[in-house]
Amino acid sequence: MRRFQIGLLIFLGIMFASSCEKDDICVEGDTPLLVIEFYDIDDTETLKEVKTLRVVGVGQNVTVNTVTDRSNLSTISIPLKTDEDTTSFILISDSADSEDGTETGNLDTINFSYSRIEDFLSRGCGFVVNYDETQANVTADSDNWIQDIEITQSLVTNSDSTHVKIFH
């Protein structure tokens, strides 16, 4: 009987140990955000804050949640679409609401185009999307506050460095 109990314990121990699997927790990373820095058009080496900046995705009714709304910012990080090759944003300088609730700031629409590179990380993380051949332009209007755009890194694989410089 004692041998049976010991044998049963060993068997149960082996079964318990062999049923353990590696956790599928993702710590390897996410799809990177596009990092934009704003510079002074008159001194292209000097960062310049955009006063009360608001960022809204074109076709969206809410502000981008990676940017603090209506803040004075010289750097922002924004998400690009992972299921399309273009993403457009409305960047609003001096954002405010009029008495009737309409936007009174200076609105510029910036359009990003890119190619998507899907990268399989692991079973727990799944796929991330990196971006390459990034290009940008501003939709011209009668009062553009964005004067120029420079792509500093067309390959976007992380959110650690600047990808785009906007001069205003």
Tell me the whole-structure pTM to 2 decimals.
0.83
> Over pLDDT 90: what percentage of the chain?
76
Q: Looking at residue 22, what is its pLDDT?
A: 54
Which residues touch 18 (CB under 8 Å, ≥6 apart)? none
Q: Which of 40, 37, 34 is nearest to 57 (CA)?
A: 34
Percentage of the chain beyond pLDDT 70 is: 84
Residues in the chain: 168
Q: What is the pLDDT of residues 14-46, one digit of tens each?
A: 666 555 545 566 766 789 999 999 999 999 999
d(CA 89, CA 92): 10
Whether residue 122 lies inside any domain: the answer is yes
* Tally of CA atoms within 13 A in the half-sphere of 16 that contains its CB: 6
Q: Is residue 3 part of a domain?
A: no
Residue 46 is assigned to a structural domain of this protein: yes
Q: 16 or 159: which carries more pLDDT confidence?
A: 159
**pLDDT, tens digit, for every residue of 100-119?**
989 999 999 999 999 999 99
What is the rounded average pLDDT of the residues 130-147?
Answer: 97
Task: Work out the number of other CB atoms within 10 angstroms of the CB of residue 55.
Answer: 23
Structure-token match 């650690």, residue found: 160
With respect to residue 48, please indicate whether it lies within any of the assigned structural domains: yes
Distance, CA of 36 to CA of 126 (rounded, Å) = 27
Number of domains in the chain: 1
Q: Which helix (H) or strand (E) holds 19?
A: none
pLDDT at 61: 87
- Is residue 8 assigned to a domain? no
Question: Is 127 part of a structural domain of the chain?
Answer: yes
Whether 151 is in a domain gets the answer yes
Mean pLDDT for the stretch of residues 120-129: 86
Per-residue model confidence as pLDDT tens digits over 40-84? 999 999 999 999 999 999 999 899 999 999 999 999 999 999 999
For residue 37, the enclosing domain spans 27-167
On whether residue 142 sits in a domain, the answer given is yes
Q: Helix, strand, coil % (nearest 5) of the chain?
A: 10, 45, 45
Helix, strand or coil, per DSSP, at residue 15:
helix
The whole-number pLDDT of residue 45 equals: 96
Confidence of residue 126 (pLDDT cuts 50, 70, 90): confident
User: What would the two tokens of residue 113 be?
Assistant: 């185009």
